[in-house]
Structure formats: C-alpha cells, structure tokens
Structure 1
Amino acid sequence: MIKCRKNAILMAARSCVLALSVAVSAVGMSRSVLADDVQAPGGVTDERPVITDSSIAFGAYDPHGDFSNDRNVKIEHLFLPWEDVDLSTLALADAYALQRGRSLMITIEPWSWSVDWRKSPDELLKGILAGSYDSNMAAVCSAAADLKSPVIIRWAQEMDDTSGQFTWSNWSPKNYVAAYQRMITECRKHLKTAQYMWSPKGNSNMQGYYPGDAYVDIVGLSVFGLQAYDKAHFDKERTFAEALEPGYRLAEGFDKPIVVSELGYEGDDAYACKWAKDVAKAHAQFPRLTAVVYFNDREVHPWPDNYGLPNWRIGDHRCSS
C-alpha cells in the first residue's frame, strides 16, 4: 500500500491517493468485479455482490485496483491524512474517477499516518479548537475544490468507536461536535460544492456525537461481518441486514440519506456468499440507504479478543450460481 509523506512514497497502513496510479496501471490484469453474472470456473460465481436495486450505488476503497474495470462502481473512496501528504496527487484520483464516471468520497483523517508524528487526543483537540489546524483543513478542501468529480467529504470517522484505533474517538461528544463543526465550517469556505458526511461506527452511543443538521448532508455507517466473531458474540452468523439494523435505526432519526461508508465481510464460502447476496438485494426496511462502499483491503487495526486483522479484500470464495 502506498502513502505520500512530503515528497517520499512510503509503505503505510492505508493508501494515499497516489495508489490510484497503481490501480490505473493494473487495469489490464485486474479482475472484473461486481460485473453482472461473473462466472468462475465450474459454472459458479464469485462472492462479489451485484447490486440489483437501482436506487443503491456501489463504491469501493480499492488500493489494489481490483475494481478498476468495473462499470458498476460509482464511488471511489480515498483515505487522506491532513498532515504529511502531497495534496497535488488528488489530481490523479480525480482523473481516475472521471475516466470511470465515479464520484469521490474523501475520508480526511486528522492526523499523520506516521505514528511518531501523531498528537495525543488532548493535544489534537486543543489544537483544533484553537484554530491551529484550520490551515490543514483549508489546504485539503482547497485542493478538493479544484477537482472535476463530485466530492463527498468525510471527516474524522467512527468517533463513537471504543477500540482505541482513532485519536479522535477518545473525545467527549461535546468536544467532538465542536471540532467537527469548526472543521466543516472551515472546509466550506474553500469547497462550496461538496456534500459532507458524518460517519459514526454505528454504536449505541453514536447519537450524542451528532453535530447538527446544518453540518451533515449524509450519515455514514460502518458494517463488517466476521464469521468467527459472529459465532462467538451473537451465537449465530449474522447477515448484512442484521449487522446494519442497529446503526440504521439510530441514524434514520436524523432524516438524512444513509450510506454504508465502509463494508467488509470474511468467512468461509457459504458465509461470504450469503453476505454478497444480502448486500446486493433490495431491503425495504432500509428506505434511506442510498449507497454501500466496500473496504477492499485488510483491516488496519486488530479486532478485539484476538481476532487479528481480518482480510476484507474480495477473495477466492466461490458461490453456487
């Protein structure tokens, strides 16, 4: 995976926008994903979902370029730190998306990907509220304003997470709301046309972090299915709909479009295929759901209870046709 650190290209936990240049070069050898009725050897199909409900858009975070040739993908998801990054490479992402008729969803993470450069939760919060990071947000949003693709800005996601993955998830709801409002206000000064996504993980405490209707165009939720975890914690294998349900019910009260901003599943063939089929079909119980965006890579933070780093990347499972 590729990240930009000043003028150097380094290996990192999540891909920088420069990874899209790798995806472009990989087009010739990439597998077609989400294509209608993709057939695998032996008359079976891959476990990749084929979205059949025209009201639902499909997107992907795809640092490996697996989705490069897929015409069904409508959203290109990028992760971007606001420090230690070469923002000029956003133009590559824009060109890549334009060639494929995709919009861009840009997750801005308020830190550096270099762990040694990261501030403590209190230091980061105090800096944001004091205006010390206004210029960081302004720089990213000014660069995004030059892009031709439609843009969604997703800032400081999964603030309700309790695993310790994100510096900003240690803040109180009141402080997070103040920081979010300040950053969206700053971004709007430079980026007039973007939509703004508030994106909790979907935990029961998420509602306290809601920054207000004036600062949110879309609500994002994270939905992951790990077969072994399901069996241990729910005494069964959950479906996509069952995993989405709790967060969706909390989110629907905000009266905003809802997007599954990060989706992934891992298990045996039967489990993966069930998720793929469940994701792809229409769900009348989720009328506000407008898009699902797949996280096509290995997890970057260990799951609790020693489940390690699940690999969400679409793999070699085979589903009966």
Structure 2
Amino acid sequence: MTFLIAAKDHCGGRWLSVLALACAGVFSFAPVHAAPPGELPFGVYDPNGDFESDPEVTIEHLFLPWEDVFLPSLVDADVYAKDRNRAILATIEPWTWSRSERNSPDILKRNLASGEYDQYMRGICAVLGTMESPVTVRWAQEMDDYTSQFIWAGWQPGQYIEAYRRVVDICREEAPNVNYMWSPLGYENLAEFYPGDDYVDLVGVSVFGLQAWEQEKFGEELSFVDILTPRYERAVEFGKPVVVAELGYVGDSDYVQKWENDVRQAYPQFPELVGVVYFNQHEVYPWPDGYGLPDWRIDHRVTDQ
C-alpha cells in the first residue's frame, strides 16, 4: 500500500506510515519543546511554532477552512515541513472560520450535492498536488459526533458518505499522490459513516483527557489507554493503520506527566497504531457539563501551577 514505506525503520523496528519521515536524533536542532518519550511517530498542530526545532516531530498538522483558505500559505507550509523532514496532515474543514458567515448543515449538504462547492476542494488539492512533502488529507473530521460542534457532523450516514467520496474523487484528480485519512471521533456509531476501503488509507480517532471532568463524570481519572482502547478497537476493524489524529490532556502535574509518558509507547494491544498528533492549541468549542474551553497548549495544560 502506498501509505507504508517498503522498508523497516531503524527506530525500534516498527513499520512507518507515510506520515512519518524521520527518526529521533537525525537532526542537530536544539528543541524548544520536546516530543513525549516513546517510539511512535509524533506530530503536532502547532500554530505558534512551539515545536519548530524539535527533530522528533515528523508530522506537521494543518487545519484549513476551505471557504477562505489562503492558498499561498500551503506553499509556505510545504517549505516549512520539507526543511524539517516532516510530512503534512491537512485537515480540511468544509466551512469558513468566520462564525458570522457560516452556512447551516442543510446548505452545506445541498451545495456539496449540487457541485457548487467542488471549487473549494479542487483549488486546495491543486496546491497539495504540487507539494514535495508527503501529504495526507483529512476531510470533515468527527462526523460521528452529535454535539453540533460541526455543521458536517450528525448527518444521515449515507449523506456524509456521498459527500466524502465526492471530495476525495475531486482531490484525486488534482493530487493523485495524496493519501486520505477518514477520521471519526471514535464513538460507537462510527462504522455507519465508513466510506469504503477505496476511499481510506488511514483511520484517525481523537483522544482528549480532561482530569477534572473525568473525576466528576466517572469518579476517577482516565488514562490515555483507557480512552483510546474502545476507539482503537472500533477503528481497527476496517483493516487500516490507525492514527490518533487529535490528542490533548489537561490536569495537575502528575496527571499530565502520566499522559506524557504514555502517549508514544508501542502497546502490544494497539499493533496498528502508527502515530499520534498533538493539538497544541486552546479549545474552540465548549467541553460538556460546563467545563468551558480547555487549554491544550503545552505551556498551559498543567492546572496546578
């Protein structure tokens, strides 16, 4: 398969996914912040450049609002990633980031089906197809979430699948070497939204730990393995490599340190887990039960400082 390098890596003998390009210690940078310890390929959504000089970061995660993305910025991102030997994971969100101008779910469905929005995907993928860095596209993530965070989530599964296949077909015309990550949140209903093996190279899930919420909701703290296990077990059923596409954790220093030590380990129960990608940003949508907007940024995630 094209998303696997046809050789074993030299950082622990694991197969590398197309997302992972470099081993620890290849470069002589002095990292400002270090990736968590472990063997798994590590990536980051890092809009402030906290991991700019970290040689262990092998995946550069981008978020693109397709209605108002500045396409030349993708060229800059390619240069940035290539200079650091990183692959690109491009999450394309089918809306604008201007909240006052966002469409409704019904408008999005209608314009996707009619082809009116084809231009957005075609324009982005035309640029992605010119990139020298390996690229994986992740379109309309967490579609199995019914909290109303995203206007593409909670649809009838057939509607989502039809839209997903349409945009992938368009992107393939413009960028034949791009790979595709289908990325549910990881809930029990995720299989209903699976678009088919021909449209998926990797499966992504999201894993976030919020200590205070867990203590109230479950009466105890949850570990990375606790939260990942059911989501991985659902995701791996499709026979594709699995990636934690969004990762964050907030709590006291002991809680954060435990998660930090756990997230890049090679667990025998997760043989198809090929990478984790940290979301190094403030939350943009309220956490349930009144817990507001957790700050996943690495300098803010410890709550007992």
Same fold (TM over 0.5): yes
Aligned equivalent of 2:37, options 45, 50, 54: 50
Aligned equivalent of 1:263, options 223, 229, 247: 247
Contact 1:106 1:152 in 2 (8 A): yes
Contact 1:219 1:256 in 2 (8 A): yes
Contact 2:264 2:276 in 1 (8 A): no
Aligned equivalent of 2:48, options 28, 50, 64: 64
- Number of the residue aligned with 2:89: 105
Contact 2:168 2:199 in 1 (8 A): yes
Mapped to 2, the partners of 1:147 and 1:175 lie a distance apart of: 31
Matched, 1:31 2:3: no
The within-5 A match list for 1:269-284 is: 269-284=253-268
Mapped to 2, the partners of 1:313 and 1:156 lie a distance apart of: 23
Amino acid at match of 1:117: E
Structure 1 residue 229: Cα displacement = 1.2
| CA deviations over 1:115-136 (Å, ceiling 9, x no partner) | 1221110110111011111111
Amino acid at match of 1:294: Y
Mapped to 2, the partners of 1:198 and 1:170 lie a distance apart of: 15
3-state SS of the aligned residue for 1:183? helix
- Number of the residue aligned with 1:194: 178
3-state SS of the aligned residue for 2:290? coil
- Number of the residue aligned with 1:120: 104
| CA deviations over 1:172-195 (Å, ceiling 9, x no partner) | 111001100111011101010011
Count of aligned positions? 274
- Structure 2: state its 5+ residue gaps: 1-28
Structure 1 residue 112: Cα displacement = 0.7
Aligned equivalent of 2:198, options 214, 237, 253: 214
| CA deviations over 1:6-65 (Å, ceiling 9, x no partner) | xxxxxxxxxxxxxxxxxxxxxx9972322xxxxxxxxxxxxxx212x2xx2100000111
Select between 88-97 and 309-318 the one with higher mean Cα deviation: 309-318
- Number of the residue aligned with 1:86: 70
Amino acid at match of 1:174: G
Aligned equivalent of 1:296, options 277, 280, 283: 280
Amino acid at match of 1:32: H
Mapped to 2, the partners of 1:296 and 1:316 lie a distance apart of: 10
Matched, 1:156 2:140: yes
Matched, 1:313 2:297: yes
3-state SS of the aligned residue for 2:62? strand
Contact 1:200 1:222 in 2 (8 A): yes
Contact 1:33 1:66 in 2 (8 A): no
TM-score normalised to structure 1 length: 0.83
| CA deviations over 1:224-276 (Å, ceiling 9, x no partner) | 00001111222211110111011111111100000000000000001001101
3-state SS of the aligned residue for 1:305? helix
- Number of the residue aligned with 1:174: 158
Mapped to 2, the partners of 1:234 and 1:272 lie a distance apart of: 18
Structure 1 residue 84: Cα displacement = 1.4
- Structure 1: state its 5+ residue gaps: 1-27, 35-48
Contact 1:112 1:118 in 2 (8 A): yes
Amino acid at match of 1:263: L
Contact 1:30 1:65 in 2 (8 A): no
Amino acid at match of 2:287: W
Identity of aligned residues (%): 50
- Number of the residue aligned with 2:4: none
Mapped to 2, the partners of 1:292 and 1:280 lie a distance apart of: 7
Mapped to 2, the partners of 1:115 and 1:309 lie a distance apart of: 17
Structure 1 residue 162: Cα displacement = 1.6
Mapped to 2, the partners of 1:194 and 1:187 lie a distance apart of: 8
Structure 1 residue 70: Cα displacement = 0.3
Structure 1 residue 317: Cα displacement = 7.5
Amino acid at match of 1:223: V
TM-score normalised to structure 2 length: 0.87
| CA deviations over 1:89-118 (Å, ceiling 9, x no partner) | 111100110110000000000001111221
